[in-house]
Amino acid sequence: MALDKWIALVFLVIALVYGYASFTYALLPFERNMVFVPNTLPNVLSVIAAFLALILLLSPKPKVEGDVLGDIDIAQFRQYKVGQALGLLAAMVLYALALRPVGFIASTTIFLAGTGWILGERKLHVMVPVALLGAGAIWYLVQEALGIFLRPLPWFFS
Amino acid sequence: MIDGILLGLSTAVSVQNLFMVIAGCLIGTFIGMLPGLGPMAIIAIMIPVAIKIGDPSSALILLAGVYYGAIFGGSTSSILINAPGVAGTVATSFDGYPMARQGKAGKALTIAAIASFSGGTVGVILLMGFAPALSSVALLFHSAEYFALMIVGLSAIAAFAGTGKVVKALLMTVAGLMMATVGESALFNAPRFTMGLMDLQSGFSFITLAMALFALPEALYLVLDPKRGATSGTGEIKDMRITREEARAIAPVIARQSIQGFLIGVMPGAGATIASFLGYAVERNIAKGADQEEFGKGSIKGLAAPEAANNAACTGSFVPLLTLGIPGSGTTAILLGALIALNVNPGPRLMIDNPSVFWAVIISMYIGNVVLLILNLPLIPYIAKVLLIPRNYLIPFILFFTMIGAYIGQNNATELLILVVLGVFATILRFADYPLAPLLIGFILGGMMEDNFARAVNLTDGIDFMYQRPMTLALLVIGFLLIFFPAYRRRRARALKKGVAEGD
């Protein structure tokens, strides 16, 4: 089964789960007499979504003659650097978890230098100063120009 | 209108707003040139900045500057390295890159700059005429018509998604509408579909969604496929002059494509990308003999056409946004989100309630076009240096900007995890050729659509309004036709393929 059919299946499941949640939505007592209730639109949407997903799932695969924009080609998937992409995603998750406790400057510098390392940059004497400079500059801009507080230092300093 | 122009001048020509125009154009040009960040991603990153500015005129001036700056910048990378930074400038590379290969990069950049400038300026003039007229009609609309209008907008976006993608685009639109129902809304008394998660209480953040849908997949693509956006070194840019004959040859092309591009941009769902491809195709068909042969091999007409069209379309897409409050493209959807965050409700009332916002944006577009021309003619050899940033430095910073954009909007680290999950899902969707812009537009319009639907239903005590009000009925019929027309055309095309040769 082609990837887009799998995705249609996933959407069908989502639509069914959403539809279940919507059709069994517990209305408040006074809402029962109203014309438009919280699950009016969701009910409609879930039915339409399930219907569209079914069409996609059951329709025969059309012959596509090359995308105009020359987008990514799933057939070449093996040549892609999946390892690097997964590494970057893992780094992003780690960054999300570390941002608050470790502080903005340290975690950002490590993130920038680390993702550069994953991508194959080995000149750390250039990468780390650039990352530090970038992190410092962005922290200053966000803190001073935008006035949004970002804890700059690790938790044991503040 | 004179009042409006004067009001716009007095707002737009202040030190702060002039600074915003220049800053927006600069940022847009730089980032539009980089592969991996389109106008949507840049504007999404700029939203926290715009919200911090607080003044809706300045914020919209900044964001609009970024938008057309990015389209401008995208054409530079299309010409120089055949790697369009933005989808709207892909058609530019058809003739721009061959010109650069022939050593005429400077001339190509000049033509692109002039065509873009003319397209943008003609677009603004038409916008000034169109928008007030359309918004005076739109003042007659009730919530029933608004609901129907949103249905038209959403189905148009799906209809223009391209052959074979209409059902996919519709599914994505509905998915966006479904996502919009998550969390609390003004209409009801309890949050919906949060699955008991506190972090979903206020729904999905639209900045996070925009980042996850547009910036993150682009960045991941750059990682997955190193050939994409590989910089093969920029050629020398010299001799930027064009001759009088060349100017005479491209003038009618630019004039036609500025108007056509604008009209395409006004239609919901058809933005700069479609305008540029269509402009290119039309001009190739109009051209005769040797001129037509040259298309694709470095024709100056083939370069001028998409450039004029995409900038005019970019301006045209502001018409539905400013007059109806309905975004026609992903980028204007993000602008709409930013405006709502700034407490401005775009729509027909905008010209009455906030005329300074409306006119200041229009005047700033004139100024912005001049700024871009100045930026792009003498300074382009220096700006193009940004293309030399190595990928190992570029990608970490793109990822970091997407995350920080999502983070400072909400100040919540969970938002980053949502971003990563949605981003991975969006990347898979793009692998399977599902269009992502309809999802975002559905998400942004979802809340407004439900509000208007609820109001109309409550006023008429049922869904009778759908056929009792002629304007609503007409709009709904248009919406359904828009969905079924492409399906019908595809079936006919298939039937033709089975039978004999095609008609035209």
A48 and A108, same domain (yes or no): no
**Backbone torsions φ then ψ of B183, nearest 5 degrees:** 95, -170
Number of residues that this document lists for chain A: 158
Given a cut of 90, whether residue A68 has pLDDT beyond it is no
Mutate to test the interface with B, among A11, A22, A144, A149 (most CBs of B within 10 A): A11
Do the Cβ atoms of B403 and A116 come within 8 Å? no
Do the Cβ atoms of B413 and A7 come within 8 Å? no
A57 CA: distance to closest CA in chain B (Å): 11
Q: If you search the block for the tokens 């739109």, which residue do you land on? A: B138
Among B305, B313, B228, residue whose Cα is nearest residue B270: B313
- pLDDT of amino acid A94: 94
The beta-carbon neighbor of B431 closest among A69, A74, A79 is A74
Size of interface A-B (CB pairs under 8 A): 181
The beta-carbon neighbor of B458 closest among A6, A35, A84 is A35
Residues 6+ apart with CB under 8 A from A126: none
A58 and A88, same domain (yes or no): no
- pLDDT of amino acid B379: 78
Residue B342 lies in a domain: yes
Do the Cβ atoms of A111 and B171 come within 8 Å? no
Residue A125 lies in a domain: yes
A57 and A91, same domain (yes or no): no
pTM for this model (two decimals): 0.83
Residue B503 lies in a domain: no
Mutate to test the interface with A, among B174, B421, B455 (most CBs of A within 10 A): B174
Residues 6+ apart with CB under 8 A from B403: A92, A95, A96, B211, B416, B419
Residue B302 lies in a domain: yes
A58 and A92, same domain (yes or no): no
What secondary structure does DSSP assign to B147-216, as a single string? Answer: HHHHHHHHHHHHHTT-TT-HHHHHHHHHHHHHHHTSB--SSSSS-BS-TT-GGGTT---HHHHHIIIIIH
- pLDDT of amino acid B502: 35
Residues 6+ apart with CB under 8 A from B130: B266, B319, B323
A158 CA: distance to closest CA in chain B (Å): 18
pLDDT band for position A15 (50/70/90)?
very high
Q: Which residues between 59 and 118 in chain A have a beta carbon less than 8 angstroms from any beta carbon of chain B? A: 59, 62, 64, 67-72, 74, 76, 79-82, 84-85, 88-89, 92-93, 95-97, 99-100, 108, 111-113, 115-116
CA of B410: how far to CAs of B174, B256, B502, in Å?
A: 25, 45, 55
A89 and A48, same domain (yes or no): no
Residues 6+ apart with CB under 8 A from B110: B240, B241, B242, B377
pLDDT tens per residue, chain B (504 residues)? 788 888 888 888 888 889 999 999 988 888 888 776 778 878 887 887 888 887 888 888 899 899 888 888 888 888 887 776 677 777 888 888 888 888 888 888 888 888 988 998 999 899 888 888 888 888 888 888 888 988 888 888 887 776 678 888 899 999 999 999 998 877 777 788 888 787 788 888 888 888 888 888 888 888 887 766 555 555 566 677 778 888 888 899 999 999 999 988 887 767 777 888 888 888 888 888 788 888 888 888 888 999 899 889 888 888 888 888 888 777 888 888 888 888 888 888 888 888 888 888 888 888 888 888 887 777 777 777 777 788 888 888 888 888 888 887 777 888 899 999 999 999 999 888 888 888 988 898 888 889 889 999 988 888 888 888 888 999 899 888 888 877 676 666 666 555 443 333
- pLDDT of amino acid B201: 81
- pLDDT of amino acid B179: 93
Cα(B140)–Cα(B348) distance, integer angstroms? 9
Given a cut of 80, whether residue A148 has pLDDT beyond it is no
- pLDDT of amino acid B291: 80
A37 and A94, same domain (yes or no): no
Q: What is the CA radius of gyration of chain B?
A: 22
Cα(B125)–Cα(A50) distance, integer angstroms? 45
A4 CA: distance to closest CA in chain B (Å): 5
**Backbone torsions φ then ψ of B354, nearest 5 degrees:** -130, 60
Do the Cβ atoms of B178 and A49 come within 8 Å? yes
pLDDT band for position A53 (50/70/90)?
very high
Range(s) of the domain holding residue B197: 2-498
B361 CA: distance to closest CA in chain A (Å): 23
Q: Is A130 on the interface with B (CB under 8 A)?
A: yes
- pLDDT of amino acid B504: 38
Q: Is A142 on the interface with B (CB under 8 A)?
A: yes
Mutate to test the interface with A, among B177, B178, B424 (most CBs of A within 10 A): B178
Do the Cβ atoms of A38 and B450 come within 8 Å? no
Helix (H) or strand (E) holding B134: helix B105-138
Q: Which residues of A touch B400 (CB under 8 A)?
A: 108, 111-112, 134, 138
Do the Cβ atoms of B168 and A148 come within 8 Å? no
Q: How many other β-carbons are positioned within 10 Å of the β-carbon of residue B125?
A: 16
Total domains present in chain B: 1
| β-pair partners for B183 | B192
- pLDDT of amino acid A70: 43
Cα(B359)–Cα(B353) distance, integer angstroms? 12
Do the Cβ atoms of B164 and A31 come within 8 Å? no
Residue B288 lies in a domain: yes
A9 and A53, same domain (yes or no): yes
pLDDT band for position A107 (50/70/90)?
very high
Arithmetic mean of pLDDT over chain A = 83
Q: Which residues of B touch A3 (CB under 8 A)?
A: 428, 431-432
Q: Which residues between 8 and 37 in chain A have a beta carbon less than 8 angstroms from any beta carbon of chain B? A: 8, 11, 14-15, 18, 21-22, 25, 28, 31, 35-36
A107 and A146, same domain (yes or no): yes
Range(s) of the domain holding residue A56: 3-62
Q: Which amino acid is at A85?
A: A
Residue B363 lies in a domain: yes
- Give CA B148 to chain center in angstroms: 23
Total domains present in chain A: 2
Residue A71 lies in a domain: no
Helix B2-12 crosses helix B15-33 at what angle (to 10 degrees)?
Answer: 80
B242's tokens? 């064009």
A52 and A94, same domain (yes or no): no
Phi-psi region of B16 (alpha: psi -120 to 50; beta: other; left: phi over 0): alpha
What is the separation, in whole angstroms, between the first and last Cα of chain A?
A: 54
ipTM: 0.87
Given a cut of 80, whether residue A60 has pLDDT beyond it is no
Do the Cβ atoms of A35 and B431 come within 8 Å? no
A58 and A89, same domain (yes or no): no
Residue A73 lies in a domain: no
| B87-90 contacts at long range (C-beta below 8 A, 24 or more positions apart) | B87/A69, B87/B38, B87/B272, B87/B273, B88/B39, B88/B271, B88/B272, B88/B273, B88/B275, B88/B276, B88/B310, B88/B313, B88/B314, B89/B276, B89/B306, B89/B307, B89/B310, B90/A68, B90/A69, B90/A70, B90/B273, B90/B276, B90/B277
**Backbone torsions φ then ψ of B54, nearest 5 degrees:** 85, -45
